[in-house]
Amino acid sequence: QKEVEQNSGPLSVPEGAIASLNCTYSDRVSQSFFWYRQYSGKSPELIMSIYSNGDKEDGRFTAQLNKASQYVSLLIRDSQPSDSATYLCAVNSDYKLSFGAGTTVTVRA
């Protein structure tokens, strides 16, 4: 079983819609959760961190965490073509981060 699993893509959404990305993790002691955005040919960019159960909003991004279900998600509201990228879920395992394989999002204009 992979440590961090993300919903398989690719995910195609029309401009202005909500993109929903899901991630589950296996290590119950993990306390820190991150979403990275990676444009094609570029390195990952940290866009969200979440540490407590519930929702955390930052602009058009909302991260949701449910530790009991070992589940973290990312919502992108009012999706824009510039949001087209691969989104990586990362979970701390001790001091290291374990990354999911990523979900590729394409926003159709």
Partner 1 sequence: GAGVSQSPSNKVTEKGKDVELRCDPISGHTALYWYRQSLGQGLEFLIYFQGNSAPDKSGLPSDRFSAERTGGSVSTLTIQRTQQEDSAVYLCASSRGDSYEQYFGPGTRLTVT
Residues in contact with partner 1 by the rule CB under 8 A: 32, 34, 36, 42-46, 49, 88, 90, 92, 95-102
- The DSSP call for residue 81 is G
For 59, residues 6+ apart whose C-beta sits below 8 A from its C-beta are none
CB of 89 to partner 1, least distance (A): 10
Closer to partner 1 by CB, 73 or 102: give it.
102
Cα distance between residue 80 and residue 93, in whole Å: 33
CB of 23 to partner 1, least distance (A): 13
